[in-house]
């Protein structure tokens, strides 16, 4: 019998009927034609004649198509079935898929919500971290051609300072001798006591070369920058204000320029106000005055206190600049062997300097959130797989009706990308909130942190991540769609083929991936937590509890000599010690953990001169007698300072354990003498009268350097500037009283940086806490997502095996056997995941070595403990569905067939 | 001759179209029938005068179905391939009654005019 269907279809194709309707009509008409054909044969026609007659009746005057057009077109249904014969454009397909995808999502709210939450967590975390990376690492500095700006340091590796602050004379020589820089400017710390208007205030600022502003390419918002002649000794006292200070203290006075200002007891003239985004070098700086080296200062190579910034000439690379500076430094070393032997020069990009050491932490966090997102992807892929199993029939029908695999894949991808974009939108909202949270977490001393925002770049990043995410997890169900047995699936009562071994393999792979990735994150977080705990437990050498600290810098104009300064501090300490709630008080030049400076080269009595520039360098702290007891620094040998140590008495010092160990190994350091400077320096000998425990002066994670303490009553090189008060009560509660006591002695004396020692301690490890907290949070999210993923897969596989479990129980298996069976399968996957995760961690954690303290990147304890915890969590995730399996009633389970 | 052939051909189509609905509805009044059956019955009972072939019959069936006068259903009978059977709906029943009346009136009117009397 001829095949009429093709003939009929060909005629109907112009009508663009829905595939189902078309199929129906084709079938009905084909039957009619078959009957007619047979009828004609029975009537005696030959096959050829019958065929011709039937065909003629079908095609007669195009009646069929004309008539059908009138009837059918008006009832065309919107179709959800994708037939190949229905020719549509790509964009039409896309919109149809989109509408269909949306309907599917709305129809399965549980699935949609879980998937979107998982994706939003992953994408949101990525956007938040990326917005920080974008601002801190990627956004160019707000200066003209920032790529050409560099910092130039002294390379003082011989004393342990590979990037030391240059001395003025070296800066002057560098500036005058180089051929590679367009300009070079010097910057020196300077704090100012602002008096004469309201409360006296300590304001941080900088002395800067007049050419700094043109070098950076910035101009004041109001007034002008410094003139070259103002950068000369006696060139006139002029000052530039920060925008913040101008608003805060001068009510944004538009006519501020030309007005006088009392700074450190001297009158300065305001010449300009900087723009709000000018924070140079840091946010704390609010005043700038010309540096105006005196001839004496400009000739000094002994005091290293400058920061030097330079702009390379067009086309000069960092390497070329470095080479030039090497040559100059070597020449200066020969020229001034006393100070410059082995003293190099290092050129670094300004960007690297500004970004600082947060870079590795941020990159690792970015990697970590990427991994979290991968786990979220695995979870969603899992959900999609389970749903794809449910949709087998739908897929089979479509393929039967002529949908191509490619077409199906396109629809699946549209659906998953729709899902991931939804997740991206929610994630973006999460990241807005996350950025706020991050700003609170990030250590304040990282510049630009406050300007972290979700900008167009972040939006683009989020969109790309969302699309990529959709592609990744959308692939899972596709691997199934492109490989299933049409006949099996279409057969009534046929078992779901997507639940076959291939589906299980993919599910198993997802569990292994999730376990492996979360193990990497957990181990990373474990190492950081471990480091942080060790850092917290480092013996600082002092007792941080119940200590109030503040900064009190006496202006040289008002207190020109040591007698007057000592008198002020002695008076202050004795008044404060009489306050209720105060045990003892003391002053020092620097409290621990805020500053690395104030070191001196020394010579040891009776030892050969090590040669120019090779003297030992020790950290020097100038202290009042009660300093050790106030700080809780333990005296190991000898005595503290006391009233007997006067200006005219023999010079004495107390040294740290490390200093005693390093220079008097196996000897009794008490009674030994040293002096500052070289062996031939005229400085007086100082006798060691005591040895204290080591104090972490600079950083908690750096081994203590040799330290010496000098009594502030004897002639000293450094001035005290910090007050420490040991209290019986909550230290902060005494802050106002202590400040009032200062003003009782000198009403113009500013007090700043009021803090407790515990806060100082905490602030000094803010960066480590930041990395630890964030990686910890990400690892926790990863763990939860992985646990949910394992739980989902286990539940699914047990539901699938209900029948099998029923048979086993009917044949006498006990609940414990079933439990073992159910958990066993899950645990196998978990163990594979753990093994892979351990191997990867072994490689990856090395990347974070620079963030660790006290533990190696492959710390076995962390690796084992974290793996065990993960296994326990995974076990729990397996246990819940497995227990459900033991509750299976064999009768009911068997009836399922 | 040629003119009259075309004329009769057109008349034939118009007549068929006008009466076709009535014919189909009548045929499925007593029992559901499939399309080929309907087509055959029309040809047999009109003794070959009226003939609907596939191209004109099915669009008509679909039109009637769409109006809700008849309803088609796929039925599988033992030993046969599944076929679409059309039956009269309650609404179709009313339409059939009304059409029968007007057809009778029409035929009687035409008869009166053309002088064709009942024997």
Give all domains of chain B, ordered by start, each with its CATH number: 11-114 (1.10.10.10)
Chain A hits for B60, CB-CB cut-off 8 Å, are 67
Report the distance separating Cα A106 and Cα A779, nearest Å. 31
Nearest to B63 among A33, A57, A71 (CB): A71
CB contact under 8 Å between B55 and A64, yes or no, is yes
Phi first, then psi: give them for residue A709, nearest 5 degrees: -110, 135
Q: Count CB neighbours of A3 within 10 A.
A: 10
Cα separation, A818 vs A804, whole angstroms: 10
Contacts of A29 in chain B (CB under 8 A): 54, 58
For the entire predicted model, the pTM comes to: 0.69
Q: Do A70 and B59 touch (CB under 8 A)?
A: yes
* Closest partner CB to A71 (pick from B35, B55, B62): B62
Q: Using the beta-carbon criterion (under 8 Å), do B55 and A35 form an inter-chain contact? A: no
Rounded to whole angstroms, the Cα distance separating A25 from A574 reads 107
Rounded to the nearest angstrom, the minimum Cα separation between B68 and chain A is 13
On whether the CB atoms of residues A873 and A787 are closer than 8 A, the answer is: yes
Residue of B55, B69, B73, B86 to mutate, testing the A interface (most A Cβ within 10 Å of its Cβ): B55
- Cβ contact (<8 Å) for A33 and B59? no
Nearest chain B CA: its distance from A497 CA (Å): 29
pLDDT higher than 70, residue A503: no
Least confident range from A99-108, A389-398, A469-478, A598-607: namely: A389-398
ipTM over 0.90: no
Asked if the model's pLDDT at residue A676 lies above 50, the reply is yes
Most confidently modeled range among A14-23, A57-66, A495-504, A621-630: A621-630
Chain A residue at shortest CA distance from B51: A57
Contact B42, B116 (CB under 8 A): no
What is the pLDDT at residue A685? 94
DSSP letters, A480-525, are HHTS--HHHHHSTTPPPGGGSHHHHHHHHHHHHHHHHHHHHHHHHH
Contact A731, A738 (CB under 8 A): no
User: Is residue A226 predicted with pLDDT exceeding 70?
Assistant: yes
| Beta strand extents in A715-872 (DSSP E only) | 722-727, 752-756
CA dist A719 and A598 (Å) reads: 10
| pLDDT tens for each residue of B45-89 | 888 777 888 888 898 899 899 888 999 998 887 777 788 999 999
Residue among B34, B39, B59 whose CB faces A71 most closely: B59
> Is there a contact between A59 and B84 if contact means CB atoms under 8 Å apart?
no
Q: What are the tens digits of pLDDT across the range A705-744?
A: 899 999 998 888 888 999 999 999 999 999 999 999 999 9
The pLDDT of residue A896 is: 53
Calculate the alpha carbon distances from A158 to A251, A338, A612, A653, A701 in Å.
Answer: 50, 14, 12, 25, 21
Residues 779-808 of A with CB under 8 A from B: none
Q: How far is A71 from chain B (nearest CA, A)?
A: 6
For residue B56, give the nearest of A59, A63, A75 by CB distance.
Answer: A63
- Per-residue pLDDT at A77 exceeds 60: no
Is A21's Cβ below 8 Å from some Cβ in B? no
What residues does A679 pair with on adjacent strands?
Answer: none
Q: Using a CB-CB distance cutoff of 8 angstroms, which residues of chain B are in contact with residue A60?
A: 53, 55-56
- Give chain A's mean pLDDT: 85
pLDDT at position A73 over 50: yes
**Number of A–B residue contacts, CB under 8 Å:** 59
Binding-site residues on chain B for chain A (CB distance < 8 A): 34-36, 39-40, 53-60, 62-63, 66, 81, 83-84
Most confident of A154-158, A406-410, A579-583, A703-707: A579-583
C-beta pairs of A480-488 under 8 Å, 24+ apart in sequence: A480/A385, A480/A388, A480/A506, A481/A388, A481/A395, A481/A405, A481/A408, A481/A409, A481/A412, A482/A405, A482/A408, A482/A409, A484/A392, A484/A395, A484/A396, A486/A396, A486/A399, A486/A400
**Residue A151 near residue A309, CB atoms below 8 Å:** yes
Cα–Cα distance measured from residue A119 to residue A383, given in angstroms and rounded to the nearest whole number: 12
B72: nearest CA in chain A?
Answer: A28
Predicted confidence at residue A82, as pLDDT, reads: 42
Count of Cβ atoms closer than 10 Å to residue A715 Cβ = 12
3-state SS track over A340-374: HCCCEEEEEEHHHHHHCCHHHHHHHHHHHHHHHHH
Q: Which of residues 35-94 of A touch B (CB under 8 A)?
A: 35-36, 39, 57-61, 63-64, 67-68, 70-72, 75
pLDDT digits (tens, 9 = 90+) for A294-321: 888 888 887 788 999 999 999 999 999 9
Closest-CA residue of chain B to A33: B54
Q: What is the dihedral of CA B41, B47, B48, B53, to 10 degrees?
A: -10
| Chain B neighbors of A67, CB-CB under 8 A | 55-56, 59-60, 63
A591 with A549: CB under 8 angstroms?
yes
Determine contact, residues A663/A616, Cβ cutoff 8 Å. yes
**Residue A542 and residue A695 in contact, taking contact as beta carbons nearer than 8 Å:** yes
Radius of gyration of chain B (CA): 16
Minimum distance, in Å, between the CA of residue B104 and any CA atom of chain A: 27
For residue A35, the chain B residues in CB contact (below 8 A) are 36
**What pLDDT shows up at residue A597?**
66
Is B62 close to A72, i.e. CB distance below 8 A? yes
Whether B54 sits inside 8 A of A64 (CB atoms) is yes
Distance CA A453, CA A320 (A): 36
* CA A387/CA A476 separation, integer angstroms: 11
Cis, peptide link before residue A281, omega less than 30° from 0: yes
> Does the beta-carbon distance from A60 to B36 stay under 8 Å?
no
Residues of chain A with pLDDT > 90, as a percent, come to 36
- Specify the pairing of strand A673-676 against strand A599-604: antiparallel
Q: Residue A451: phi, psi to the nearest 5?
A: -95, 10
pLDDT band at A459 (very low <50, low <70, confident <90, very high): confident
């Amino acid at each position: 019998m001829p095949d009429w269907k093709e003939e009929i279809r060909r005629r109907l194709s112009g009508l663009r009927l829905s595939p189902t309707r078309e199929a129906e009509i084709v079938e009905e008409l084909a039957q009619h034609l078959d009957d007619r054909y047979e009828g004609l044969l029975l009537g005696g026609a030959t096959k050829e004649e019958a065929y011709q007659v039937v065909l003629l009746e079908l095609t007669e005057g195009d009646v069929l198509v004309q008539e059908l057009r009138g009837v059918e077109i008006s009832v065309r249904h919107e179709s959800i079935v994708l037939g190949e014969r229905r020719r549509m454009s790509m964009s039409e397909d896309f919109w149809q898929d989109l509408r269909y995808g949306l309907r599917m999502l709305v129809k399965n709210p549980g699935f949609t919500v879980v998937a979107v939450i998982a994706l939003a967590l992953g994408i949101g975390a990525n956007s938040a971290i990326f917005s920080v990376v974008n601002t801190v690492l990627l956004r160019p500095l707000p200066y003209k051609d920032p790529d050409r700006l560099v910092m130039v340091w002294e390379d003082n590796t011989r004393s342990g300072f590979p990037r030391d602050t240059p001395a003025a004379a070296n800066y002057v020589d560098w500036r005058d001798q180089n051929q590679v820089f367009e300009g070079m400017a010097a910057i020196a710390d300077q704090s100012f006591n602002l008096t004469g208007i309201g409360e006296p205030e300590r304001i941080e600022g900088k002395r800067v070369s007049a050419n700094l502003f043109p070098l950076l390419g910035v101009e004041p918002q109001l007034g002008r920058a410094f003139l070259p002649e103002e950068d000369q000794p006696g060139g006139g006292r002029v000052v530039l204000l920060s925008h913040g200070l101008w608003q805060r203290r001068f009510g944004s006075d538009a006519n501020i320029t030309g007005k006088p200002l009392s700074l450190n007891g001297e009158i300065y003239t305001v010449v300009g106000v900087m723009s709000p985004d000018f924070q140079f070098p840091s946010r704390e700086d609010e005043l700038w005055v010309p540096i105006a080296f005196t001839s004496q200062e400009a000739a000094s190579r002994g005091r290293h206190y400058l920061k030097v910034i330079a702009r390379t000439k067009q086309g000069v690379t960092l390497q070329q600049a470095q080479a030039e500076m090497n040559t100059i430094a070597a020449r200066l070393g020969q020229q001034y062997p006393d100070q410059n032997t082995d003293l190099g020069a290092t050129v670094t990009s300004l960007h690297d300097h500004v970004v600082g050491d947060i870079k590795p932490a941020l990159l690792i966090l970015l990697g970590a959130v990427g991994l979290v997102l991968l786990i979220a992807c695995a979870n969603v892929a899992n959900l999609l797989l389970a749903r794809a199993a449910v949709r087998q029939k739908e897929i089979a029908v479509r393929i039967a009706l002529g949908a191509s695999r490619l077409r199906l894949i396109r629809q699946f991808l549209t659906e998953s990308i729709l899902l991931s974009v939804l997740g991206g939108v929610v994630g973006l909202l999460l990241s807005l909130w996350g950025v706020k949270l991050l700003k609170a977490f990030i250590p304040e001393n990282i510049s630009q942190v406050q300007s972290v925002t979700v900008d167009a770049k972040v939006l683009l990043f989020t969109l790309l991540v969302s699309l990529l995410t959709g592609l990744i997890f959308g692939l899972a169900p596709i691997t199934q769609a492109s490989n299933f047995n049409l006949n099996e699936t279409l057969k009534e009562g046929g078992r779901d083929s997507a639940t076959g071994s291939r589906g299980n393999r993919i599910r198993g792979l997802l569990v292994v991936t999730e376990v492996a990735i979360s193990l990497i994150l957990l181990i990373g977080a474990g190492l950081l937590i471990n480091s942080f705990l060790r850092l917290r437990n480092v013996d600082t050498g002092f007792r941080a509890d119940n200590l109030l600290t503040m900064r009190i810098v006496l202006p040289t104009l008002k207190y020109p000599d040591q007698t007057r300064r000592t008198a002020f501090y002695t008076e202050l300490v004795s008044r404060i010690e009489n306050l209720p709630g105060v045990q003892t008080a003391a002053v020092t030049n620097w409290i621990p953990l805020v500053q690395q400076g104030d070191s001196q080269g020394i010579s040891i009595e009776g030892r050969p001169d090590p040669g120019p520039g090779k003297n030992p360098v020790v950290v020097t702290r100038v202290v009042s007698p009660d300093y050790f007891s106030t700080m809780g620094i333990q005296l190991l040998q000898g005595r503290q300072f006391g009233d007997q140590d006067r200006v005219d008495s023999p010079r004495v010092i107390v040294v740290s354990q490390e200093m005693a160990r390093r220079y008097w190994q196996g000897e009794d350091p008490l009674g030994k003498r040293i002096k500052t400077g070289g062996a031939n320096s005229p400085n007086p000998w100082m006798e060691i009268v005591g040895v204290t425990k080591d104090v972490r002066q600079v950083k908690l994670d750096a081994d203590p350097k040799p330290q010496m303490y000098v009594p502030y009553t004897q002639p000293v090189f450094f001035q005290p500037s910090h007050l420490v008060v040991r209290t019986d009560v909550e230290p902060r509660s005494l802050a106002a009283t202590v400040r009032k006591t200062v003003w009782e002695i000198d009403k113009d004396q500013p007090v700043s940086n009021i803090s407790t020692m515990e806060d100082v301690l905490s602030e000094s490890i803010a960066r480590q806490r930041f990395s630890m907290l964030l990686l910890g949070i990400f690892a926790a999210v990863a763990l939860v997502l992985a646990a949910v993923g394992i739980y989902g897969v286990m539940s699914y596989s047990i539901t699938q095996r209900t029948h099998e479990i029923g048979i086993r129980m009917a044949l006498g298996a006990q609940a414990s056997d079933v439990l073992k069976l159910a958990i066993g399968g899950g645990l196998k996957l978990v163990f594979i995941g753990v093994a892979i995760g351990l191997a990867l961690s072994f490689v990856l954690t090395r990347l974070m070595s620079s963030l660790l303290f006290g533990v190696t990147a492959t710390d076995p304890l962390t690796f084992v403990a974290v793996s065990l915890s993960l296994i326990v969590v995974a076990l729990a995730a397996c246990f819940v569905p497995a227990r459900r399996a033991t509750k299976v009633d064999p009768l009911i389970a068997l009836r399922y067939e | 001759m040629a003119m009259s052939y075309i004329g009769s051909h057109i008349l034939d189509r118009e007549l068929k179209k006008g009466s076709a609905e009535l014919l189909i509805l009548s045929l499925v009044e007593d029992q559901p029938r499939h399309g080929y059956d309907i087509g055959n019955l029309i040809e047999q009972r009109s003794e070959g005068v009226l003939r609907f072939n596939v191209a004109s019959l099915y669009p008509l069936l679909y039109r009637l179905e769409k109006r809700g006068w008849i309803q088609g259903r796929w039925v599988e009978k033992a030993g046969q391939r599944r076929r679409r059977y059309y039956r009269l709906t309650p609404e179709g029943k009313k339409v059939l009654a009304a059409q029968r009346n007007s057809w009778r009136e029409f035929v009687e009117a035409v008869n009166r005019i053309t002088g064709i009397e009942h024997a």
